Structure formats: C-alpha cells, structure tokens
A and B are shown apart, each in its own frame.
Chain A
Amino acid sequence: MANFWTGASVHLGLICVCAGYLLPFIWMVSTSLKAGSQTQQVPPQFIPHPWKWHNYLDVFTHPTFHATLYTRNTLVIAILTVVGTTLSSAIVAYGFARIPFRGRGVLFGIMLATIMIPFPVTMVSVFRIFRWMDLHTAAWWGPDNALQMLGTFKPLWLPAWFGSAFNIFLLRQFFMTLPRELSEAARIDGCTEFAIFWRVVLPLAKPALAVVALFSFMGVWNDFLGPLVFIQRPEQYTLALGLQAFQSRIGGTPWQLLMAASTLVCMPTLILFFLAQRTFIEGIATTGGK
C-alpha cells in the first residue's frame, strides 16, 4: 500500500512538472498558428482561430527577416566547426590517451582547467588578437594578401580546428577503453602511429565522434554571444542574430511570425534528438565526471 501511494505521488508530481515544462512549447506553437490580430487579443486564447499555417511560409518571405540567408550562414559556420573540432579533438585526444609521454598528466590537467574559463572572460582579448592578425599581416604581406579575420566567419569557426577541451576530454575517455592489443598488432605490422590512429582507432570511435559532432553542431546552432561579438553586417547574421534583430527592430513585434521562426529554429535539434536519443543521453552522461 505504501508503494502505491509513493508511486501515485511521484506520478502526480511528474505530471504537474511536465505540464509546466510543456507550456512554453504549447504557447509557442499556438501563437505561431494565430493571425496577427489574435496575438493582440486580451485575454489571450490557446486555440488559434483561424489556423494560420501560412505563417510558416511568411517567415521565409518576410522583407526584413531573411530566413534562408541566416540558415545558410549558420550552416556554413556549423559545418566548418563540426569538421574542424571533431578532427582536431580526435588527434589531440589520441595523443593524451595512447602515447605515454612526459608531461602528459600536467598538460591534460591544464586542458581540463580551461573548460572552466567562461567565454566572456576571454572575448575581448580574442577579438583583439584577430584584429592584430589582420593589421599585422596587412603590414607584412600587403593589404591584398592579409588574413581577413574580422568581418568574416573565421573567428567563429577557426578556433574549432585546434581542438576543444571538452571534446578532447570526451574522446580521450573513449580511446582509453579501446584494447591496447589492437594498436600493438598494427604496430608489429609496421603501421606508423598516425596510421594506427587513422585506420585502427578512429573507425572504432564512430559513436564517440558522433557525440562530439552532435554537440558541436548544437553549440554553433545555439550560439548567440559569439556571433554578437564577431558579426556586424546584417547579411552575415546567423539565425540567432537574425531572430534577435527581427524582434528588437520593429515596434509591435509580429509575435506569430517570431514564434513560427522560433519553432523552426528548434526543429533541427529536436529532430536530431529523436533520431539519436541514445547518443545524446550517453554523451551528456559521460560529461558527469566519469
């Protein structure tokens, strides 16, 4: 009997919490399907009347919100980031996991500590460094051959090609679990260290690489502060900046369009989650310091 009541109260608690957690989604989708006049109605209603499915098309044809362009920009940054960080983090993680070299422990400790440095702390100086690169390469090689960093997407994706501490940690944990005999066998067959990494270890690490790719994609898709700092021109806006500009530029925001756009922005990650639920959950679980 005691068990029944415990179970019932857990259910009741969870149902209440879940209703609360779903409310924002319901409100978003409901608003996204309303006519503009209905969003202004007091008191507001949940059920759209009439159902304006057309809002979802209007998002793409709006004169000031360029959904296609922003999506393209975000995807360019995302693809370059995902490829760069997965590749470089794997290489570095292999070094930390499989090669016993002097100073490895200390360097690994330093690397872990950098996870704790928030971006706002370094953003000003990173910006300065990119500016410095632009100015000095212009002075050395002439303005035509100068590195163009600021004003392009490079500040957003280039750092990803040098490994990211979090991904390195994740992959290193995975590489440690692979049996050493595999590498030994390949070494006896005359493989170089890089060949062992590339042909033996990497193919076995596909699940872990998928986790890293997934999370770094989400990192770019969700990033607001990075683009805010490094992107100025409206034609380079990512979805995050585009949506924010859309919201703040016009008085009397068209909330139905903003909510339709928000719903669309949520879709890729929601779909990815339902396709790769296990990858997600295991990936997050591994971060819990195991």
Chain B
Amino acid sequence: MTSEERRNFFKGMAFISPWIIGFAVFTAVPIGLSFYYGFCDFALTAPRRAPLWIGLDNYQQLFHDVVFWKALRNTVYYASMALPAGMLVSLGLALMLNARIRGQTVYRAIIFLPSLVPAFASAMIWMWMFNPSMGVFNMLLGKLHVAPPDWLGERLAMPSLAFMSVWGVGNTVVIYLAGLQDVPRELLEAAEIDGAGTWRRMFSVTLPMLSPVIFFNLIMAIIGTFSILTVPYIITSGGPNKATYFYTMYNYDEAFKYLNMGYASALAWIQLAITMVLTGLAFWSAKKWVHYG
C-alpha cells in the first residue's frame, strides 16, 4: 500500500466503524452464538444456566418433533398461497396503475394506504372483519344469501391469513411502478409499429424489461413470508388446534416461553438455512428469466 492508500484505508475504516461494531455485536456474533447454542443443552430454567455441549441432539430431536414439522408445514402452506398471490396481485395492480388514465393518483394512493397501517393494527381490523357473527364479510355474504363460513376456523384460517396479506402489497406495487418508468418507450413503440398488440407488448417487452424488479420483489417476499409473526400471533395466536402455528412462533415460544435457548437456536438456524436455500434457488433460476439489459 502506498501512503495515500494507507491513509484512505484508515479514513474509510473510521467512517464505517459504527457499522463494523454493530455488525459484529448484533449480527455476526449472534449468528455464530446461535450456531453454537444449537449444539447445546441450554435451558434457562435449569439451575446450571450455562450451555452444555450435546452435539447433534437438538437437531435429532427436531427431526422427530411433531410440532416442528407442523409449524414448518404450516409456514410452507401459507407461503404457497401468500407468495404467488402477492406477486401476481402486486404486478397486476402495478400494470393497471401504470396505464395513463384519469384518477391515477387517487387509485395509487388508495392501493398504497394499507401499507401505512401498522401490522398489529391491521391484524386487529381484520380479526374484527373475519368475526363470524359480527364481522363485515359475513354481513356482505349474508346479503347474498351465502352460508357464512368460519373464516378463522381450523380449515379456513390459513387461507384467510393469506388473503389478508394481499391487502398490504402497496409497497411492492410502488417498487414495480418505479421499475415500469424505466421500460424504454421507444421499445414499446417499435413493438407497436411491428404490429404487437397490448398483450404481446406486455409479455415480450414490458415483463422482460421488468424482470430484475420482479426478481428483487420475489427475494424480499420470500424472506418476509418465511419470517411472518405479528399478524397470526395477534389474530389466531397459532390456533385453532395449531392450524396457524407458524415457524417463527415456535421459535419465539421455545426461546421466551419455555426458555429452551439451545433448541430455539437450532430452530433459528434451520430457518436461516431454509431462507438461504430458497434465495439461492431464486438466484439460480434468475439466470433463466431475469434480463439485465
């Protein structure tokens, strides 16, 4: 290093040092620690209160743990509905809101508003809307003489939560709208001159040009969906009969209700691994469908 390089190095390090400390204390060490705790018996209820190395026991126990599989299955079930629904609705809405029509700003504002509602408040609102006898959904259905379903019952609770999640796609829509601004107008006009209709232009020009943004939103949605907690925690607290018991709830309960820090750490690591694998898959598939122009 020349003296200038050295000076820059120290200057740069000085500026980013807050992040380096924060990264070490609040991210790197916690992840390392939970990796270690994952191999330990570490119950805060025991008199010993220090982690005791037990090797792979936690992970073996997980493998036979009915609740673990239930929570994992629930989360995957929820994601299998909420992820595609959210992706399709947000993209569809963005395409409609991108059309140059009257009242565009009003439509945009209305679609965005729910994103401003805190998750805990929207949980309250929807819980009240889903109410079987006094809620608004069954009131509207009653007017159509449809038998009122039990929205938060064992069978429907999960689809209801997924349905509700679509209400909050405003953020994603805004990101799409920004991406749509960057689709070159000349390209669309050229396609039109070549005789491409609305749909053809959308599938052959707009969507490929938008694919990096779709990819970004997909990654964010995967991470968000697999770490959902607030809304189901408030609305159903995992019930009825564990039908909406999510993975993060199990993690939270093991750590802070039963104080099994070791077991909870193993759960956290599996969540991290699942998120990483899914994101990795998305990145791998990106080669086939994401166009960086």
Contact with B along A19-32 (1 / 0, CB 8 A): 00111110110010
Q: B255 near A99 (CB under 8 angstroms)?
A: no
A127 → chain B, closest Cβ, in Å?
A: 7
Residue ID in chain B nearest A222 by CB atoms: B118
In the complex, A168 has a CB within 8 A of chain B: yes
Interface residues of A in 97-120 (CB under 8 A from B): 99-104, 107, 110-111, 114, 116-120
Q: A99 near B11 (CB under 8 angstroms)?
A: yes
Interface residues of B in 203-231 (CB under 8 A from A): 212-213, 216-217, 219, 223-224, 226-227, 229-230
CA distance A222 to B117 in the complex (A): 8
In the complex, A285 has a CB within 8 A of chain B: yes
Q: Which residues of B have CB within 8 Å of A88? A: 18-19, 22
Q: How many residues of A contact B (CB 8 A)?
A: 90
Contact with B along A201-222 (1 / 0, CB 8 A): 0000000000000000010011
Given contacts A6-B198, A159-B22, contact A102 B111 (CB under 8 A): no
Interface segment, B61-69, B130-138, B153-161? B130-138
Q: B134 near A39 (CB under 8 angstroms)?
A: yes
Residue ID in chain A nearest B105 by CB atoms: A277
In the complex, B12 has a CB within 8 A of chain A: yes
Q: How many residues of B contact A (CB 8 A)?
A: 96
Given contacts A44-B136, A273-B116, A284-B171, contact A124 B34 (CB under 8 A): yes
Among A7, A100, A129, point to the contact of B8 (Cβ < 8 A).
A100
Q: A120 near B227 (CB under 8 angstroms)?
A: yes
Q: Which residues of A have CB within 8 Å of B109? A: 277
Residue ID in chain B nearest A13 by CB atoms: B96
Interface segment, B52-60, B79-87, B174-182, B186-194? B174-182
Q: B216 near A289 (CB under 8 angstroms)?
A: yes
In the complex, B281 has a CB within 8 A of chain A: no
CA distance A164 to B40 in the complex (A): 30
Q: A95 near B261 (CB under 8 angstroms)?
A: no
Q: Which residues of A have CB within 8 Å of B120? A: 222, 224, 240, 243-244
In the complex, B124 has a CB within 8 A of chain A: yes
Given contacts A22-B110, A126-B30, A262-B121, contact A119 B8 (CB under 8 A): no
Interface residues of A in 233-270 (CB under 8 A from B): 240, 243-244, 247-248, 255, 258-259, 262, 265-266, 269-270
Among B27, B142, B264, B272, point to the contact of A43 (Cβ < 8 A).
B142
Q: B5 near A163 (CB under 8 angstroms)?
A: no
Q: B171 near A92 (CB under 8 angstroms)?
A: no
In the complex, B268 has a CB within 8 A of chain A: yes
Q: A121 near B5 (CB under 8 angstroms)?
A: no
In the complex, B13 has a CB within 8 A of chain A: yes
Residue ID in chain A nearest B124 by CB atoms: A262
Q: Which residues of B have CB within 8 Å of A11? A: 101-103
A36 → chain B, closest Cβ, in Å?
A: 12
Q: B116 near A269 (CB under 8 angstroms)?
A: yes
Q: A114 near B27 (CB under 8 angstroms)?
A: yes
Among B121, B227, B256, B269, point to the contact of A229 (Cβ < 8 A).
B256
Q: B27 near A266 (CB under 8 angstroms)?
A: no
Given contacts A161-B18, A162-B18, contact A221 B113 (CB under 8 A): no
16 contacts between A and B (CB under 8 A): A10-B101, A11-B103, A14-B97, A27-B136, A92-B19, A99-B11, A116-B223, A123-B255, A124-B268, A125-B33, A125-B34, A125-B265, A162-B26, A222-B118, A289-B212, A289-B216
Binding site for B on A (CB under 8 A): 6-7, 10-11, 13-14, 17-18, 21-25, 27-28, 31, 39-45, 88, 91-92, 94-96, 99-104, 107, 110-111, 114, 116-129, 159, 161-163, 165, 168, 193, 197, 218, 221-222, 224-225, 228-229, 240, 243-244, 247-248, 255, 258-259, 262, 265-266, 269-270, 273, 277, 281, 284-285, 287-290
Q: Which 7 A-B pairs have the closest CB atoms?
A: A162-B22, A95-B15, A101-B12, A285-B178, A125-B30, A118-B227, A222-B118
